[in-house]
Amino acid sequence: MRTEICDRLGIEFPIFAFTHCRDVAAAVSNAGGIGVLGAVGFTAEQLEVELSWLDEHVHGVYGVDLVIPSKYEGKGIDGLNPEELEAKLAELVPQGHRDFAEKILADHGVPKLPAEEHHNQLLGWTATTVAPQIEVILRHPKAKLVANALGTPPAEVISQIQDSGRLIGALCGSVKHALNHKNAGLDFVVCQGTEGGGHTGEVSSLVLWPQVIDAVGDLPVLAAGGIGNGRQIAAALAMGAAGAWTGSVWLTVEEANVPPAQMQSYIDATSNDTVRSRAWTGKPARMLKNDWTEAWEQPENPSPLPMPLQMMVALDGVKRGHRYPEAAKDVNFNPVGQVVGMLNKVERSADVVARLINEYVESCERLNKLNGA
């Protein structure tokens, strides 16, 4: 299973685990893959705490995932610090959208946050707010990989990361986006089919992976979207992928910082229970369908705003869902891919890595028998 990108990163297996939980990231890195911590929900100060913890608990290396959209409301506003940009963008959010979001939460009995738990509205959804996060990453030598979740990173960010000796890549959901990444000089591409959790395009993994692999030539492609077992990893590598980028499978592991009620929602869900919706972030993202996503689809209700304005509306709901998961079970933010239908038990992260490897080996042995080897 070892590929060239393993050698470049010094990891044993090309299994990349995107997660918002540092415990999961550490467990996967220590099991021979590489954990990739999603940074979008952290301030720079919080990210410093998370990466310092990972430095202490990861034996090898880990990665960090940022969100710098190629297009977003407010792009091009220069000269503002993150607080000033948040205030400027907040002026663009109609009060009617905030009132509607509050009504959904109130109708479902989700309590408001205590006054002392004030939170930022914007977080890391713009180049301005991501800049302090990058400064933090560069202070941590074990953070050897950076990925951008939405679009090609700005040229100055690419240079900054590569000049530090780190690899930088980005996710894509089309051949066009993959070629943009290659032309920008990125070190790898994460090719995610529509089955994946979070922001996706409309083309399925089985169709998209080989198209992107052929289009970008020798640029390493990490296959993403719907990977939950080693058979799927074997299929991706057989198509020419350099590794597997996984995400949803880590939502139902023991180490995941997922409240029991929310985890049970994932375990109970089928692959038919997901939907691509703009209701939380403003861009199409796959998640569990629930009362929140349905409410924003009704023609008589407000339509989701562009990124990052919709998240500025919805973030209070995200925070309240984390604090009161039982009350928010029908309106919680549950980003997950169609592979959720395969996630029917809780496993340890290291055991998931071992299972993926064993299933991969079994798949290769099956093919060898078919080929008379």
Q: Which domains does the chain have, with CATH numbers?
A: 4-77+121-275+336-370 (3.20.20.70)
DSSP 235-261: HHHHTT-SEEEE-GGGGGBTT----HH
CA distance 265 to 272: 13
Long-range pairs for 1-6: beta carbons < 8 A, 24 or more residues apart? 1/233, 1/237, 1/357, 1/360, 3/220, 3/237, 3/242, 3/243, 4/220, 4/242, 5/167, 5/188, 5/220, 5/222, 5/242, 5/243, 6/243
Question: 44-57 and 22-30 are packed helices; what angle lies between their axes, rounded to 10 degrees?
Answer: 30
The predicted pLDDT at position 115 comes to 83
- pLDDT tier at 79 (50, 70, 90 boundaries)? low
CA distance 139 to 307: 29
pLDDT in tens, 259-277: 888 999 999 999 999 999 9
The predicted pLDDT at position 71 comes to 74
| pTM recorded for the entire structure | 0.93
pLDDT in tens, 287-311: 999 999 999 999 999 999 998 899 9
CA distance 337 to 250: 11
CA distance 180 to 173: 12
What is the phi/psi pair of residue 41, to 5°?
-85, 0
pLDDT in tens, 179-204: 999 999 999 999 999 999 999 999 99
CA distance 37 to 142: 12
Specify the 3-state DSSP secondary structure of 324: coil
More confident residue, 130 or 120: 130
Instruction: Tell me what the mean pLDDT of segment 158-170 comes to.
Output: 97
Specify the 3-state DSSP secondary structure of 149: coil
CA distance 279 to 153: 24
The predicted pLDDT at position 119 comes to 67
Which of 325, 251, 247, 315 lies closest to 280 in space, CA to CA? 315
Residue 5 near residue 242, CB atoms below 8 Å: yes
What is the phi/psi pair of residue 313, to 5°?
-75, -40
- pLDDT tier at 253 (50, 70, 90 boundaries)? very high
Find all residues with CB under 8 Å of 329, minimum gap 6, and list them: 261, 262, 265
Place of tokens 């996710």: 171
Helix (H) or strand (E) holding 57: helix 44-57
pLDDT in tens, 20-54: 999 999 999 999 999 999 998 888 999 999 999 99
- The percent of residues in the chain predicted with pLDDT above 90, rounded, is 83
Find all residues with CB under 8 Å of 183, minimum gap 6, and list them: none
pLDDT in tens, 88-124: 888 899 999 999 999 999 999 999 999 887 766 666 6
The predicted pLDDT at position 238 comes to 96
Strand 285-288 vs strand 198-199: parallel, antiparallel, or unpaired? Answer: antiparallel
CA distance 138 to 160: 9
Judge if the upstream peptide bond of residue 306 is cis by omega within 30 degrees of 0: no
